[in-house]
Amino acid sequence: MKTECIGDYVKFNGKAYPCTVSLTMNLIGGKWKAVILYHLKDGEKRYNELRKEIPSITEMTLSLQLKQLEKDGLITRKVFGKKPPVKVVYDLTRLGESFVPVLEAITQWGNKAVTDNGEFVHS
């Protein structure tokens, strides 16, 4: 099976990419998107839960990345309640769920790389 560069380029959500590797890296690349998806893989989470589980991300960046992931169809955003404090829940879409195996592969590779050539640090 040919797994790349079927056709001359690919279009997704109106944007063009030279190949599907490129496309994937654009959708889930960057410093945080994969990490966020990772934390959603076991079920929905609230905004503040994500913040606590990813302490080094800022509010603004988390908010921005969530918006982009939603726009690209990887996660959903649901609001409960009308008056503050409202409750907002993020969850994977089907497309997002189909990405979980890739996430697992990424995680396992990272773990093996660290085991072989790096170190796990406990402070």
**Contacts with DNA, residue ranges (CB under 7 A):** 30-32, 46-48, 56-61, 63-67, 77, 84-88
Residue 65's closest CA among 104, 100, 95, 39? 39
We find the least distance from the C-beta atom of residue 62 to DNA, in angstroms, to be: 8
Selection from a second copy, DNA, none that 43 binds (CB < 5 to 8 A by kind) is none
Residue 108 binds to a second copy (criterion: CB under 8 A):
yes
Which of residues 51, 68, 73, 88 is near a second copy by CB under 8 A? 73
Residue type, 114: V
If phi > 0 it is left, if psi is from -120 to 50 it is alpha, else beta; for residue 43 that is left
What is the contact mask toward a second copy in residues 27 to 56, using x (rule: CB under 8 A)? x-xxx--xx--x---------------xxx
110 contacts a second copy (rule: CB under 8 A) = yes
Whose CA is closest to 68, among 103, 100, 38, 36?
36
What are the structure tokens assigned to 122, written together?
Answer: 């406990």
Question: How far apart are alpha carbons 76 and 36 in whole angstroms?
Answer: 13
The entry of a second copy, DNA, none that residue 69 binds, CB within 5 to 8 Å by partner kind:
none
